[in-house]
Amino acid sequence: MLRVYQLGSVPVSLYWDEASLGYNAFSIATTLHDEHGEFLPYSRFIAFGDYKPPGYIYADALAIKFLGLSEFSTRLPSALAGTILVLVTFFLVTQLFGNQITALLASLFVVISPWSLQMSRAAFEANFATLLSGTGILFFLKAVKAKSIIFYLLSAVFFVASIYTFNSHRVFVPLMIGGLSLIFIRALLSQWKRALFFFACCLILVGPLIPHLLSREGSLRFTEVSWVNDLSLIEKSNKLIAQDGGGLVARVIHNRRVIFAQQFLAHYTDNFKGSFLFFSGDANPKLSIQTIGELYWLDLPFLLVGLFYLLKQKNKSSAVIFLWLLTAPIPAAFARETPHALRILQILPIPQIIIALGVTKVFQKKILCIIYPLFLLFYARDYYFNYPQKYALDWEYGYKDMVTYVKSVENNYNAIQITNKYGRPYIYMLFYNKYSPEKYWQNRKVDRDWYGFWYVHSFDKYYFDAPLPFGKTLFVREPENTPKEAKIKKQIFDFSGKVVFNIYEI
Q: Judge if 378 and 402 occupy the same domain.
A: no
User: 42 — phi, psi (to 5°)?
Assistant: -115, -20
Q: In terms of Cα–Cα distance, which of 495, 500, 488, 479 is closest to 398? A: 500
DSSP letter at 386 equals: I
Considering the domain architecture, whether residues 100 and 177 belong to the same structural domain is answered as yes
Q: Give the model's pLDDT for residue 248.
A: 72
Q: What is the CA radius of gyration of the chain?
A: 25
Cα torsion angle, 279, 285, 288, 292, sign: positive
pLDDT, residue 250, reads 63
Q: Judge whether 31 lies within some domain.
A: yes
pLDDT for residue 491? 97
Within this chain, do residues 453 and 322 fall inside the same structural domain, yes or no? no
Q: pTM for this one?
A: 0.94
What is the total count of domains within the chain? 2
Query: How many residues are present in the chain?
Result: 506
**93 and 158 housed in the same domain:** yes
Rounded CA-CA distance 9/272 in Å is 32
Same domain, 425 and 337: no
Q: Is residue 482 part of a domain?
A: yes
End position of a domain, from candidates 358, 382, 406 = 382
Q: Quote the domain boundaries for residue 91.
A: 16-225+264-382
434 domain residue, yes or no: yes
Q: Tell me, yes or no, whether 387 lies in a domain.
A: no
Q: What gap in Å lies between CA 455 and CA 355, rounded to an integer?
A: 47
Mark whether 343 and 438 lie in a shared domain.
no
- Is there a domain that residue 61 lies in? yes
Instruction: List the one residue out of 102, 20, 24 whose CA is nearest residue 357.
Output: 102
In sequence order, which ranges of 279-398 are alpha helices (DSSP H)? 299-313, 316-327, 350-362, 365-366, 372-381, 387-390
Q: Cis omega before residue 349 (within 30°)? A: yes
412 and 366 in one domain?
no
354 and 377 fall within a common domain: yes
**Same domain as 489, residue 365:** no
Residues of the chain with pLDDT under 50: none
CA angle at 291 for the pair 70 and 286, rounded to the nearest 5°: 30
1: in domain: no
Rounded distance between C-alpha atoms, residue 367 and residue 378, angstroms: 15
Q: Is residue 311 located within the same domain as residue 400?
A: no
